[in-house]
């Protein structure tokens, strides 16, 4: 254990505040879509990157806190709320047709109900990430290249975590496709 107890508790508090901020970011994205539409794309990209960054930072603080964060069991659900805000912006702003977004949400929900696998929801979230990237590259190409550089930087910084987690995620999806059930979902 390192540092004073107050500092250690502060890390958990900061992680929780960063986690909660993604709920606010999701709401801001939905609001931008409803009130400003496609013209708010630069702001929506900035807010989305802020949300993605808080996701990275909350994990960093949480891993350095010897005490669990209060929201550790809710982090994934908060991510889903944040991604719902991204999808709401894209739909309300007219980048995605309503039928496509609704179908995606329904299919994602059914996939979750059938499999009960976190890896399936993560796949759905990565589809939203990819969709964001395509929209940004089409409408704001310079921002798209900045985002790409940011993602490469994150991949370098988190290369060990990625090397551990990505194969497990792909393996879980592969096993699911092959019909193998694993009790450790």
- Report the domain count for the chain: 1
* Contact between 3 and 57 (Cβ < 8 Å): no
pLDDT digit string (tens) for the chain, length 185 residues: 445 555 658 999 999 999 999 999 999 999 999 999 999 999 999 999 999 999 989 989 999 999 999 998 999 999 999 999 999 999 999 999 999 999 999 999 999 999 999 999 999 999 999 999 999 999 999 999 999 999 999 899 989 988 999 999 899 889 888 886 554 44
User: In this structure, is residue 116 part of a structural domain?
Assistant: yes
Give the pLDDT of residue 181. Answer: 58
pLDDT for 178 equals 87
| Cut 0.85: pTM above it | yes
pLDDT for position 9: 86
CA 21 to chain centre: 13
> For residue 183, is it within any domain?
no
What pLDDT was estimated at residue 185? 46
- 114 inside domain: yes
In a domain, 70, yes or no: yes
Structural domain harbouring 32? 5-177
Can you tell me the distance from the alpha carbon of 31 to that of 63, in angstroms, rounded to the nearest whole number?
32
pLDDT for position 100: 97
- Residue 184 inside a domain? The answer is no
SS3 71: coil
Burial status of residue 146 (CB atoms within 10 A of its CB: 0-12, 13-18, 19 or more): middle
- In a domain? residue 185: no
Within-domain flag for 157: yes
Cα angle 181, 123, 12 (rounded to 5 degrees) comes to: 95
């Amino acid at each position: 254990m390192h540092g004073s107890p107050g500092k250690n508790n502060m890390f958990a508090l900061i992680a929780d505040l960063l986690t909660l901020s993604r709920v606010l970011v999701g709401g801001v994205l939905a609001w931008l879509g409803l009130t400003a539409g496609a013209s708010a794309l630069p702001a929506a990209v900035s807010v989305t990157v802020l949300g993605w960054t808080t996701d990275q930072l909350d994990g960093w603080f949480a891993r350095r806190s010897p005490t669990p964060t209060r929201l550790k069991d809710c982090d994934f659900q908060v991510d889903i709320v944040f991604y719902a805000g991204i999808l709401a912006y894209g739909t309300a702003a007219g980048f995605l047709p309503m039928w496509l977004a609704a179908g995606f949400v329904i299919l994602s929900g059914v996939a979750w109900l059938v499999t009960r696998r976190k890896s399936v929801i993560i796949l759905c979230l990565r589809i939203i990430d990819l969709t964001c990237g395509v929209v940004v590259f089409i409408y704001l190409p310079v921002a798209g290249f900045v985002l790409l550089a940011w993602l490469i930087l994150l991949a370098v910084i988190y290369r060990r975590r990625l090397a551990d987690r990505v194969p497990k995620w792909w393996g879980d999806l592969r096993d699911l496709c092959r019909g193998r059930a694993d009790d450790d979902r």
